[in-house]
Amino acid sequence: METIKRAIIYDRSLNPERTNATFERLAEVLENVLNEQSAAHISKLLDLLEQPNPRNQLNEKQADKIIEYLDKIVLSRQQIQEIGEQLQLSEISTAEAIDIHQQFKIPVSHPEEDIIPVQGKGCWIKDTKGKWYLDMDSNYSATNLGMSNPEIALGLYNQANTLISMKEDRIQIARSRFLKEIHQMMPPGLDQFYWQNSGGEAVDKALKIAKAYTGTTQVIAFKGGFHGRTHGAVAVTWNKKYREPFGLDETGWVHFADFNDLNSVETLLKTTGAKIIILEMVQGEEAGNRPATPEFVNGLWTLAKQYDAVIIDDEVQAGFGRTAVKQGDWFACMSYDLVPDIMVIGKSFGGGYPVTAVVTKKKIGSKMKYGYDGSTFGGNPMAMTATLIATRQMREKDVTGNVVARAKQIKSGIRTLRETYSIIGTYSGRGLMFGFDLGSAENVQKVQSGLRENGVKVSLSSGSMIRFLPLTIMSKGETDFFLKQLEKSIKILDS
C-alpha cells in the first residue's frame, strides 16, 4: 500500500519530474487492474472523498482515505503492485492527457491518441491502460537500443550532475570521448563532424556545407524523398503538401529527379548546372521503405564524378545498422560499398536522446569558415554522452548482425504468409526498414488496427504500403511474435 500512497502523493526528493495523482487517473488505474469489479469501488471512493474534482491533484488527507479504503477491500499482492506501478508511471488520466494536448498543443501533426506510452522495456512499450505492445516503429527508428536504456540513463544522470550543457564552439571532454571512439563505425574518409539536435537541422547544415564547398546553390533531390521539416529540409522533400503552404514549392534552387532513374538525374545535371545531389539510399517516410537499386547508386556516383557534383547521403533513418545487408554495414552506403561526400546521421545516433550530425571529408568541411554556422545545443555534453554509450552498445550488441538475421527471418515469414494470403503484395525494403503492399490505404489501416488489438504498435504509413521500423535489437522470439500477430491481423482482411 505504501507504493500506492507514494504514487498518489509524489516524493519530490525521488521524483521531481512528477505531480500528485488525480482522482480520474486513480479511477482509470482501478479500472485497468480490477476490470468490472472497479465500478463499485470507484463509486464508494467518490462518496468517501465527497465527490472531488476528478482532475485536481489529490492531497495527503484524501490519499490517506483512499489507502484506508483500499486496505479494507481484498486485493492480491499483484493487484496492489500493478495499481502502484501504473499510478507511478502516470498520475494523469488518458482522457485528461488527450484533452490538454488538444487544448494547448499547436496541431502540426495528426495526433496519435490510440496508444499513450508511459513505459518502455526492450522492444516493448506499456500504455496508460496497462497494455504492452511490441514496438514496430521505434519512434521512426530513433529508439533502437531499447525503449528505455539503463546505461544511457546512468550516463545522462552522471553528465547532468556534472555539466549539463556547453555551447557548440567550446571544446568539451564528453565530445572528445565520443570522437576518440566513433571512427571505427564511419565510412572511410568521413571523419569531420558537426552536431545538431534534429535530422532536419542536420540536413539544413549539410546543404550549407555543400553550398560552401561547391560555391553553388542548385540542388537535385528525389521524388519520393523525405528530409525533414526545417525550411531547407522541407525544400528538398518531395511531397508538395509539405512545401506549398510555406512558399517552398518553387524555391528556384531545388529540382526533383525520378528515383532509380539515372537519365532523369543526368538531364537535371545538364540543364540546371546543379553540383549538389541529396538522396536517401532507402527512401522511407514517403515511399514506403523503397531501396535504391545498386545500378542506380553506382551510376549516380559515376555521374556525380563526371559532373563534379557532391552527394549528400541522408542516413537519418537508414543509418546505424537499420539497413544492413552484411555484418558491419553501419550505414546504407556501406551496404552498397559506396562513400558519399557528405552524410547526415540522426535518430538512432543517441539511442533515443536527440542528437544528429553532418559528417564529411576534410577537404569539404574545411570550406566552412568561422561564422558560417553555430549552435547553442549542437553537440552538447548530454548528447555526446548519449551517442558515446549508444554507438558503443550498437557494436557490443552486434546490431548489424542482428539486423541481417531478423530481416531474413521476416522476409521468409512474409513470403510464407503470402502463399496463403493473396492480399499481401510487393515486399519492399532493406534490412529492418521494410514494408509491403496491401492494395489500399484502407487495408493498411485495417491491418494496423488489427495489429494494435493484437499487441503490436506500427509505423505511420502512406498509401497502400504498410511500413515497419522495428528496434534493431529485436530478438528471434519477438520476430516470431510479430509474424504471428501479423497473420491474425491479415486473416481478417482476406476472409
Q: Which residues contact 28 (CB under 8 A, 6 or more apart)?
A: 93, 94, 95, 128, 129
**Residue in 3, 6, 20, 12 with CA at minimum distance from that of residue 58:** 20
Assess 314 for contact with ligand PLP (CB under 6 A): yes
Question: Checking phi first, is residue 77 left (phi over 0); if not, alpha (psi -120 to 50) or beta?
Answer: alpha
Task: Select the span of 251-259, 265-273, 314-322, 368-376 touching ligand PLP (CB under 6 A).
Answer: 314-322
CB of 460 to ligand PLP, least distance (A): 10
Q: Per 3-state DSSP, what percentage of the chain is helix, strand, and coil (rounded to 5)?
A: 45, 15, 40
Assess 368 for contact with ligand PLP (CB under 6 A): no
Instruction: Give the largest Cα separation in the chain, rounded.
Output: 81
Site for ligand PLP in 215-244 (CB under 6 A): 226-228
Assess 340 for contact with ligand PLP (CB under 6 A): no
Residue 258: how many CB atoms within 10 A of its CB? 15
> CA-to-CA distance for 94 and 445, rounded, in angstroms?
23
For residue 303, the SS3 value is helix
Assess 203 for contact with ligand PLP (CB under 6 A): yes
Residue 87 or 233 with smaller CB distance to ligand PLP = 233
Assess 91 for contact with ligand PLP (CB under 6 A): no
C-beta separation of 188 from 394 below 8 A: no
Q: Which residues contact 377 (CB under 8 A, 6 or more apart)?
A: 165, 168, 197, 383
CA dist 179 to 173, 259, 379, Å? 10, 34, 11
Residue 135 or 285 with smaller CB distance to ligand PLP = 285
Residue 281 or 410 with smaller CB distance to ligand PLP = 281
CB of 76 to ligand PLP, least distance (A): 44
Assess 431 for contact with ligand PLP (CB under 6 A): no
> CA-to-CA distance for 368 and 405, rounded, in angstroms?
41
Among 319, 346, 351, 352, binds ligand PLP (CB under 6 A): 346
> CA-to-CA distance for 129 and 21, rounded, in angstroms?
15
Q: Residues binding ligand PLP: what is the number (CB under 6 A)?
A: 15
CB-based closest residue to ligand PLP? 199
Residue 285 or 437 with smaller CB distance to ligand PLP = 285
Pairing of strands 219-222, 124-127: unpaired
CB of 31 to ligand PLP, least distance (A): 35
Task: Select the span of 18-26, 31-39, 53-61, 309-317 touching ligand PLP (CB under 6 A).
Answer: 309-317
Assess 280 for contact with ligand PLP (CB under 6 A): yes
Residue 108 or 171 with smaller CB distance to ligand PLP = 108
Site string for ligand PLP, 113-152 (x = CB under 6 A): ---------------------------x------------
Residues that bind ligand PLP (CB under 6 A): 140, 198-200, 203, 226-228, 280, 284-285, 314, 316-317, 346
